[in-house]
Amino acid sequence: MRLHTLPGMPFVNDMPAGTEAATRMLIAQDPALVPCLEVDRPMTWEVRPNGFPGLVHIILEQQVSTAAGTAMWKKLCNMAGSVTPETFLLLDDDVLRHCGFSRQKMQYCRSLAAEVRDRRFDPDALASMTDDEAMAALTARKGIGRWTAEIYLLMVLGRPDLWPAGDLALQIGLQRLLGLPKRPMPAETDARAEAWRPHRSLAARLIWNYYLAGSPPPRPRRTQP
């Protein structure tokens, strides 16, 4: 589906209903986003697995590039088969190191696996919570900070108004988009994104795509505040 009424908008795979209307609203609110519609790069609607696997995938992406996180995730899937709390807890340190886990990430994911296995934390319950409630539930888990929680809500649950201010690709994309002399810090990007409510998730996706379409590569490391 192409946004014919928004010239230059890249092709979007599996675009959710209402995206065209939301894009119109964003552009009307802030014309500075127009260059995001003119990039020569197809825009895909990236998602992550739901529940425990999705959280592990995002934890793997902490402090590394998206490509590195994806490579580690694929190795984990090959070693574990189905990534569940039970199968994950059977993997020893050597296997996890082979998949790319640092010692910290081993601890984070084992702690999360035990909580889910023992029903002390139910990722499925996040879907019925408000954004603030879900953020609080996620960040109460060891190793899950604001960035991880926001990426989960945005990429997995499809929440429409999330803004991962600590994401370096967003910061650099915004720097390029606005012609800023230096990369904006999270407080600055948070303030700038206020103009994009209630569609900050869409704005984030547009800026990610704008960043990936630009130069120079490679992708920067993402932060885990």
Boundary residue ending a domain (140, 156, 172): 156
150 and 170 co-located in one domain: no
132 and 61 co-located in one domain: yes
Q: CA 156 to CA 55: how far, in whole Å?
A: 9
Measure CA 1 to chain center.
Answer: 23
Q: CA 49 to CA 54: how far, in whole Å?
A: 4
The confidence score (pLDDT) of residue 13 equals 58
| Domain count across the chain | 2
Which residue shows structure tokens 């995001």? Answer: 36
137 and 84 co-located in one domain: yes
In a domain, 206, yes or no: yes
Q: CA 48 to CA 167: how far, in whole Å?
A: 16
Domain range enclosing 85? 51-156
What CATH number corresponds to the domain at position 139?
A: 1.10.340.30
56 and 135 co-located in one domain: yes
Boundary residue ending a domain (115, 130, 156): 156
119 and 70 co-located in one domain: yes
- List, run by run, the mean pLDDT of 10-residue segments along the chain (225 residues): 45 72 91 90 81 96 90 95 96 97 98 98 97 98 97 95 95 94 95 96 94 61 46
55 and 152 co-located in one domain: yes
The confidence score (pLDDT) of residue 1 equals 32
8 Å CB contact between 118 and 102? no
In a domain, 181, yes or no: yes
- Tell me how crowded residue 122 is: count the other CB atoms within 10 A of its CB: 11
Q: Supply angle C-alpha 63, 41, 166, rounded to 5.
A: 25
In a domain, 223, yes or no: no
Burial-class residue 59 by CB neighbours within 10 Å (0-12, 13-18, 19+): buried
pTM for the model stands at: 0.88
The confidence score (pLDDT) of residue 9 equals 52
66 and 142 co-located in one domain: yes
Closest by CA to 160, choosing from 223, 205, 111, is 205
Closest by CA to 162, choosing from 123, 126, 222, 205, is 205
Measure CA 51 to chain center.
Answer: 14
Instruction: Write the DSSP symbol of residue 43.
Output: E
The confidence score (pLDDT) of residue 11 equals 47
- Tell me how crowded residue 95 is: count the other CB atoms within 10 A of its CB: 14
The confidence score (pLDDT) of residue 146 equals 96
Q: Supply angle C-alpha 216, 219, 224, rounded to 5.
A: 140
Q: CA 97 to CA 103: how far, in whole Å?
A: 8
Q: CA 53 to CA 155: how far, in whole Å?
A: 13
In a domain, 68, yes or no: yes
The confidence score (pLDDT) of residue 196 equals 96
Helices marked H in the chain: 19-29, 51-61, 66-80, 85-89, 93-99, 103-117, 131-139, 146-151, 168-178, 186-193, 200-213
What CATH number corresponds to the domain at position 189?
A: 1.10.1670.40
The confidence score (pLDDT) of residue 12 equals 55
60 and 127 co-located in one domain: yes
Boundary residue ending a domain (114, 138, 156): 156
86 and 134 co-located in one domain: yes
Three-class DSSP category at 44: strand
Q: What's the one-letter identity of residue 194?
A: E
